Amino acid sequence: MTGHRRAVLAQQYTEVAEAAEQRLDELLDLTADPSPAVDFEALRREYAPRPLPPTAVSEPPRWADFEPDPAQLPVGRSGQPLLDAAYQQNLASARLAHQRALREYREQERTLRDRAEEVRLAYEREERERADAVRTYNERLVEYRHAYEDGEPAAVESVMERALAAAGRLPGLEVPARVGYRPLTRTAVIDLVLPGVGVVPPALAFRVSPDDSDGGVEPVPRPREECVERYLLLVARLALRALDAVVAADTESHLDGVVLNGRVVTAEAGETTLLSVDARRHDLYARTLLPTQHAEAWARLRELPCRITADPYAPAPVAPFGVSSATAPLPEELSPGEFAGLAAELFAAMGLPDWDARIVGRDGLLAIAHGDGVGFADHPYVVCLARRPAVVGEEAVRNVAEVMAEEQAEAGIWATTGSFHPQAVLAAAEHPGLRLIDGGELRALIREHLGAELGG
């Protein structure tokens, strides 16, 4: 390959890379705009009848089109065409042709009438079917809307997925999403399928190479840090746009929180989680989720309870805060925010509405609550709720007793989704104000006070 051809090829590669970078800039700008809202009224359909298809029509044959013209016939012996034998013969032939044309017309007319009737009947049948389909669709839409307003999980999931589909439909890029809604914690668990790192051009310029093995053209390497920064910025923008979409779609305030897991699928590593967000209602409404400046977007995502990979090119996966489930969720499937929210709602329903969570972690939480004087006595309580370990030991129970002494609390609750070791039960007996609640009793309390099920 000549030097000139290499230079031209390098220039063409550079132009393609620059165009890809421009598309990435456009995508980033678009993700800063709110996505279309889910509007039930806009989803309604209207029936508009179509016009009846035209049918073939024809005019009966006219005698004037068959009658011979006397002026064009030779004058016979009589000197008058009407008395001429040749003219009379032509006239008779014309009448026969006209009669034959009339018979053919009448036969064709009957066929056309029959065909027109078939067309009319088919038209009326199709229009009835169209009208029925529109009416059925609108009736189902009303049912769908009522189901959503009533908080039925399938309907809530459908509304959220519709909102996410609109938010993820970008020029040249589709960002699919799956949603699972948990009535137990009023939380949507979103699995967002992120684009791969190939969306960021690895090089913005190409140059002539002295080596013919690579076609005589080589890329000018882009700094890896810059590629990582650009890709994670897009990931942050897509995550915030998805969160904004479900918040906007939650017109009935069904959501107390959102767990969002951003995943990528590659042939080498399969499905990998690069991002996980555990946002509660106060996190989502603290400030706008779609700032105009990209630097602000990155900072806004970091303000949420968030885990994000340090290197998406490795890749370095992160552990999801929570995962979706088709049945009643297991304790370990809940995010820390969900688990803490579940505890606050349960104990508030039992009579501890004044709730101050001091420690919230992967394994459980520690909170200080105050009884309402009805369900619980009117004094402070230390509440510890854990989902790990499966068996709570003696030392853990004594630690809560020490916290009760430090907080000068007269009573405490040690609840677990698992069970207590016999030595732990004996240790709790030394502190009359400390109540133990094992997994069986905890699930029964959730069923009684919240009307929902915790798996396990």
Model confidence pLDDT, tens digit, residues 400-421? 999 999 999 989 999 999 999 9
Look at residue 273 and give its three-state secondary structure: strand
What's residue 415's pLDDT? 97
Within 10 angstroms of residue 212's Cβ, the number of other Cβ atoms is 9
In the predicted model, is pLDDT for residue 73 greater than 80?
A: no
Extract the tokens encoding 406: 């430090």
Over residues 163-213, the pLDDT tens digits come to: 999 999 999 899 999 999 999 999 999 999 999 999 999 999 988 887 766
Task: Tell me the C-alpha distance between 386 and 389, whole Å.
Answer: 8
Extract the tokens encoding 283: 């996190």
Q: What type of residue sits at position 223?
A: P
Residue found by looking up tokens 């105009």 in the block: 292
Reported as a pLDDT band with limits 50, 70 and 90, residue 116 is confident
What's residue 59's pLDDT? 74
Which residues touch 271 (CB under 8 Å, ≥6 apart)?
A: 263, 264, 265
In the predicted model, is pLDDT for residue 293 greater than 80?
A: yes
Cite the DSSP H helix spans in 273-376: 281-284, 294-303, 336-350
Mean pLDDT over each residue of the chain, to the nearest integer: 89
Task: Tell me the C-alpha distance between 14 and 6, whole Å.
Answer: 12
What's residue 192's pLDDT? 97
Percent share of the chain, pLDDT over 90: 66
Over residues 319-357, the pLDDT tens digits come to: 999 999 888 999 999 999 999 999 999 999 999 999 999
Over residues 222-273, the pLDDT tens digits come to: 999 999 999 999 999 999 999 999 999 999 999 999 999 999 988 777 889 9
Extract the tokens encoding 335: 């995010």
H or E segment and range at residue 424: helix 422-429
What's residue 84's pLDDT? 65
Q: What type of residue sits at position 401?
A: A
Give mean pLDDT, residues 126-137. Answer: 94
Task: Tell me the C-alpha distance between 121 and 39, whole Å.
Answer: 37
Reported as a pLDDT band with limits 50, 70 and 90, residue 67 is confident
Comparing CA positions, the residue from 328, 353, 330, 332 lying closest to residue 343 is 353
CB 338 within 8 A of CB 259: yes
Look at residue 315 and give its three-state secondary structure: coil
Look at residue 151 and give its three-state secondary structure: coil
What's residue 109's pLDDT? 78
Rg, C-alpha atoms of the chain: 39
Task: Tell me the C-alpha distance between 365 and 382, whole Å.
Answer: 11
Crossing angle of helices 3-30 and 224-249, in 10° steps, is 30
In the predicted model, is pLDDT for residue 71 greater than 80?
A: no
What's residue 72's pLDDT? 60
Task: Tell me the C-alpha distance between 153 and 148, whole Å.
Answer: 8
Within 10 angstroms of residue 395's Cβ, the number of other Cβ atoms is 11
What's residue 308's pLDDT? 94
Give mean pLDDT, residues 267-282. Answer: 90
In the predicted model, is pLDDT for residue 141 greater than 70?
A: yes
Q: Pick the residue with more confidence: 206 or 95?
A: 206
In the predicted model, is pLDDT for residue 143 greater than 80?
A: yes
Within 10 angstroms of residue 232's Cβ, the number of other Cβ atoms is 21
In the predicted model, is pLDDT for residue 287 greater than 80?
A: yes
What's residue 179's pLDDT? 96
Helix (DSSP H) and strand (DSSP E) numbers for the chain: 11, 16
- In order of their start, the domains of the chain are 3-35+168-308 (no CATH), 40-167 (no CATH), 331-450 (3.40.1350.10)
Comparing CA positions, the residue from 290, 310, 302 lying closest to residue 247 is 290
Extract the tokens encoding 425: 């039960």
Reported as a pLDDT band with limits 50, 70 and 90, residue 119 is confident
Reported as a pLDDT band with limits 50, 70 and 90, residue 83 is low
Task: Tell me the C-alpha distance between 324 and 315, whole Å.
Answer: 23
In the predicted model, is pLDDT for residue 65 greater than 90?
A: no
H or E segment and range at residue 369: strand 364-370
Backbone angles phi, psi at 47, to 5 degrees: -90, 125
In this structure, the dihedral spanned by the alpha carbons of residues 72, 76, 78 and 80, taken in order and rounded to 10 degrees, is 0
What's residue 363's pLDDT? 95
